[in-house]
Amino acid sequence: MSDDKKRTFDPDVVSIDPTAAEMLKIAEDCEISTVFQRADSIKPCSTGAGGGCCKLCAMGPCRLIGKHDRGVCGADRETVAARNFLRQVAAGAAAHSDHGRDVALTLRAIASGEVEDGTIADTVKLAKVAGYMGIDVAGKDANTLAVEVADCALAQFGQQTGELVYIGRAPEKRQELWRSLGVVPRGIDREVVEAMHRTHAGTDQNYKTLLDGAIKCSLASGWGGSMLATDLQDILYGTPTPVRSSANLGVLSEDKVNILIHGHEPLLASMILDATSEPEMLELAKSLGATGINVAGICCTANESLMRKGVPPAGNMLHQELAILTGAVEAMVVDVQCIFQGLTEVADHFHTKLISSSPKACVGDSEQIVVDEHRPREAARQIVRSAVENFANRKEVHIPNVSEPLVAGFSHEYIRYMLGGTMRASLTPLNENIVNGRIRGVAAVVGCSSPRSVQDYAVVNVVRELIANNVLVVVTGCAAITSGKHGLLTPETMAFAGESLAEICETIGIPPVLHMGSCVDNSRILTVLTDMAATGGLGDDIAGLPAVALSPEWFSEKALEIATYAAGSGAHVIFGGVGSPVANSEVVSTYMIDGWTERYGGSLRFIKEPQDMVVATLDLIDNARKALKIDVAAERVLFDMDMRRELSV
Ligand code: NFS
């Protein structure tokens, strides 16, 4: 750790999750560094954090601070901030979309019989997706259709001209707006490459066009790579329906072999799950003194496996090192994204095997068992066997006795079904209850946890305060796991909801906080918003709906890309925690709020404090209601310090 300063680190204040303090004290005793300690000892560079550092060429890096308003090439603060932002969005779009590409390749390999015993789980969704793509389904068996769907999906990545096929799923009005502004993505890869090109030194030098570039690139993920990932994963592994499970480190088992699946891709995780129930593996586990094999998850691989198989999440992104500190993890299998290299140091102190499974992400000096997409079952068995054999090396174990029950798996399809049954599946009751004011609006609380914020504090506060104000909340990504860890994903949570929202939740039998999936599944939210606009009573576009998206503890470039496609799709977005990546330019910061609202009907603003985020959300929702002429007098329930302190227990 460079940049040492006077030690201030206190395990009791960096998180409101009691398991964090418990594990961090163990880390301190063993002198193991974690993300929490490193965040405490490394001061972020404020110039870089606000988008004020340009390191695109060797005339710099230029830091545009103080009296320096231009770089050596003459680029001003606006250009530099917008260019940095576009690069971040492009990296996020690349990550989500490359994930989608791999799912398409897997679907093709399975459907064409190249994968041993691979199957297609959801043929209804397959037919639906084929319909979106304009593929004739008549007389075709599932595998033939799946090959055509996979080929169409794969073609979206390399397409050079025209429009992505899923653009046609957006509201008509939105499509026309995008066309008129020239931001309809042509091909997924093309938009990421163009973003890199236009940000090369001496290319695009106008912050407004750079930010249009960010919108176009992000739409290629939101209505392209991410949406394809969601759809094709549903086809392969099943469209989620509600499932019970539990969350937090207490889901690890003292007497079973524990395998943690971490990252973002569900393929290997599902094969590992299958392998853990093979008699041969169970016998081996028993012969070594274990009573069975337990699989739990971290990050979005956890969400994917939770929604479809009920695999319990052991924690969100900040829990990855803490899980190993329990001493109870025989193997942590990682694929791609949000995986800390710091895991290697923690794993070195324990018997845990850290196994990288993706050819494009080897974590430090971890063991690599690269999954051959044509024979994933073989890799899964090898991993499970290796984990089971490692049980014999387990030493002292310290698993916090903390976990909360939860219900997850509210896909768009299930929400329609729960509101109208099989015959009349629709969002009409949702829209009606928004119009009559029982539901004030809808908020999506998404994204990460960050060591630059107090872990879980902002997400829990924002969610609790919004449901208290009769705002129906959907959650994805690490915010969904945070909600689960703090007991917000059960029907009993309606006790914290406003009266009219609680009544609706009770009637339907749902929690006021709906777990909607992983981060690529933010595309499910786009689908729900589009459906709300099509259902009637709330306008005819995503812009204007009484709906807001929030990421109170964001950290990744993927989160910025999600924010950008949401804003470009017409939603207002509020990010919290660490501050704005364009703070170095007041002009760009304001433009993303007012300029984008005027141009796209959506916006992106950065607000530090959770309570201010709630106030801004309610303002945006109430303004939308007023514009729709459905405003009714509604009280505001704002939490005081005592109420907020209660959440920290
Ligand atoms: Ni999303 Fe999922 Fe979590 Fe943030 Fe990372 S795991 S893709 S980026 S940290 S929510």
Residue-wise pLDDT for 585-629, tens only, equals: 999 999 999 999 999 999 999 999 999 999 999 999 999 999 999
Per-residue pLDDT tens over the stretch 98-111 = 999 999 999 999 99
Please state, as a whole number, how many other Cβ atoms lie within 10 Å of the Cβ of residue 98.
19
Looking at residue 161, its pLDDT comes to: 98
Kindly state the tokens that stand for 195: 């973003």
Report pLDDT for 115: 86
Confidence check: pLDDT of 337 > 50: yes
**Helix 226-237 and helix 77-111: axis angle, to 10°?**
20
Question: Nearest 5°: phi and psi at 350?
Answer: -125, 180
Ligand 1 nearest atom to the CA of residue 518, by list position = 2
Q: Who contacts 324 (Cβ-Cβ below 8 Å, separation ≥6)?
A: 332, 343, 346, 347, 350, 352
For the chain, the helix, strand and coil percentages under 3-state DSSP, each to the nearest 5: 50, 10, 40
pLDDT at 649: 38
For residues 16-35, give the mean pLDDT: 96
The pLDDT value recorded for residue 369 is 86
Share of the chain above pLDDT 70, in %: 98
Across-strand partners of 443? 473, 548
Q: Give the side-chain half-sphere CA count within 13 A for 38.
A: 13
211, 237, 263 - which closes a domain? 237
Which residue among 306, 516, 558 has the greatest number of ligand 1 atoms within 8 angstroms of its CB, and so is best to mutate? 558
pLDDT of residue 3: 45
Judged against a pLDDT cut of 70, whether residue 483 lies above it is answered with: yes
Nearest CA, atom 9, ligand 1: 448
| Shared domain check, 444 and 530 | yes
Where in 32-149 does DSSP place strands (E)? 53-54, 62-63
How many Å lie between the centroid of ligand 1 and the Cα of residue 617? 22
- Are 168 and 221 contained in the same domain? yes
Q: 556 CB less than 6 Å from ligand 1?
A: yes
| Residue of minimum CA distance from atom 4 in ligand 1 | 448
Domain end point (choices 362, 393, 424): 393
Cβ 208 vs Cβ 185: under 8 Å: no
What's the pLDDT at 259? 98
299 lines ligand 1 (CB under 6 A): yes
Collapsed DSSP state (helix, strand, coil) of residue 514: strand
Residue 351: inside a domain, yes or no?
yes
Residues 327 and 195 grouped into a single domain: no
Q: Tell me: pLDDT of 4 over 70.
A: no
Mean pLDDT of 511-536: 97
Distance CA 464, CA 272 (A): 36
Token pair in block for residue 100: 């989608």
9 is a domain residue? no
pLDDT confidence of residue 642 = 74
3-state secondary structure of 190: helix
| Residue 631 clears pLDDT 80, i.e. is over it | yes
Backbone angles phi, psi at 8, to 5 degrees: -125, 0
Is any atom of ligand 1 closer than 6 Å to the C-beta of 338? yes
pLDDT range class, residue 6, cuts 50, 70, 90: low
Return the bridge partners of 62, or none: 54
User: Do strands 293-298 and 257-263 pair parallel, antiparallel, or not at all (unpaired)?
Assistant: parallel
Please work out whether the CB of residue 532 comes within 6 Å of at least one atom of ligand 1.
no
How far is residue 467's CA from residue 442's CA, in Å, rounded to a whole number?
9
pLDDT at 647: 60
| Arithmetic mean of pLDDT, 483-503 | 96
Residues 371 and 412 placed together within one structural domain of the fold: no
Could you tell me if 412 and 556 lie in one domain?
Answer: yes
Cα(174) to centroid(ligand 1), Å: 28
Tell whether ligand 1 has an atom less than 6 A from the beta carbon of residue 448: yes
Average the pLDDT over 69-97 and give the result: 98
Indicate which atom in ligand 1 lies nearest the CA of residue 337: 5
Residue with tokens 């914020």: 453
**Is residue 530 within 8 Å of 222, Cβ to Cβ?**
no
Give backbone dihedrals phi and psi of 54, rounded to 5 degrees, phi first: -110, 115
Is 50 exceeded by the pLDDT of residue 35?
yes
Q: How much of the chain exceeds pLDDT 90, in percent?
A: 90
CA 577–ligand 1 middle distance (angstroms): 15
Domain that holds residue 313: 249-393
Same domain, 386 and 320: yes
pLDDT in tens, 373-414: 788 888 999 999 999 999 999 999 999 999 999 999 999 999
**CB 477 near ligand 1, within 6 Å:** yes
pLDDT at 327: 98
How many whole angstroms from 519 Cα to the centroid of ligand 1? 6
User: Mean pLDDT score of the chain, rounded to an integer?
Assistant: 95
CA of 338 to the centre of ligand 1 (A): 6
224 lines ligand 1 (CB under 6 A): no
Residues 559 and 616 in one domain: yes
Give the pair of three-digit tokens for residue 312. 């319990």
Taking alpha carbons only, the member of 145, 146, 134, 227 closest to residue 188 is 227
d(CA 19, CA 28): 14
Q: How far is the CA of 634 from the centre of ligand 1 (A)?
A: 34
* Longest distance between any two alpha carbons in the chain, whole Å: 71
Query: Is 374 among the domain residues?
Result: yes
Torsion of CA 339, 345, 350, 355, to 10 degrees: 40
478 lines ligand 1 (CB under 6 A): yes
In-domain check, residue 15: no
What is the mean predicted confidence (pLDDT) over 287-295?
Answer: 98
| C-alpha–C-alpha distance, residues 248 and 160, integer Å | 45
* Pairing of the two strands 572-575 and 547-551: parallel
Number of domains in the chain: 3
Whether 372 and 443 share a structural domain: no
Q: In this model, does residue 646 exceed pLDDT 70?
A: no
Cβ contacts of residue 637 below 8 Å, gap of 6+?
Answer: 465, 468, 469, 498
Q: What is the mean pLDDT of residues 524-546?
A: 97
